[in-house]
Amino acid sequence: MKIKSGIGFDAHRFAAGRKLIIGGVEIEHELGLDGHSDADVLIHAIVDAVAGPALGRDIGNLFPDTDKAYKDIDSKILLKKAVDEIRLAGYEISNVDAQIIAQKPKMAPHIPAMRKTLADVMGLEFDDITIKATTTEKMGFTGREEGIAALASALVFRRG
């Protein structure tokens, strides 16, 4: 069995008039994130982490922001399409481990719902998705509450 690892990173600035969606979960906050899609930084990082090793591509190659079909799209749809492509290529996802970097809002209360949502979308077990959250102690763009970032790592393996 061939096993590959992947990493992903994404960051978006805050924007007024948008919902804040992280890990497929809407979080109560006065600002959302700016982006072509719903700007779900966690899902975008996960797509890169799983698609990189399995498909040799990233989210920008799979779902370009120049394509109007992806304007304001729910990132769970993008994740499901990426997972389907990964499986068509003969790979399965073993697990995803992710980190959300945000000063505010607090992410910990939402992590169980994010894990369940992501596991359901990806067809994985709840325990195959781990998510942590941290602040940057008020340093950098996340610390100044200008936006949110996310990191993800994943293991994929070739079936058969």
Domain coordinates in residue numbering, the chain: 3-158
Angle (nearest 5°) at CA 37 between 106 and 65: 135
| Per-residue pLDDT reduced to its tens digit, 54-84 | 999 999 999 998 999 999 999 999 999 999 9
- Cβ(148)–Cβ(40) under 8 Å? no
Residue located via tokens 């340093």: 139
pLDDT band at 136 (very low <50, low <70, confident <90, very high): very high
The model carries a pTM of 0.97
Binding residues: 10-12, 36-37, 44, 58-60, 63-67, 102-108, 134-137, 141, 144
Tell me the β-bridge partners of 152: 8, 98
Work out the burial of residue 96: count CB atoms within 10 Å of its CB; fewer than 13 is exposed, 13-18 middle, 19 or more buried.
buried
Binding residues for a divalent metal cation: 10, 12, 44
Task: Report the half-sphere exposure of 90 (CA within 13 A, side-chain side).
Answer: 7
CATH 3.50.50.60 fits 3-158, yes or no: no
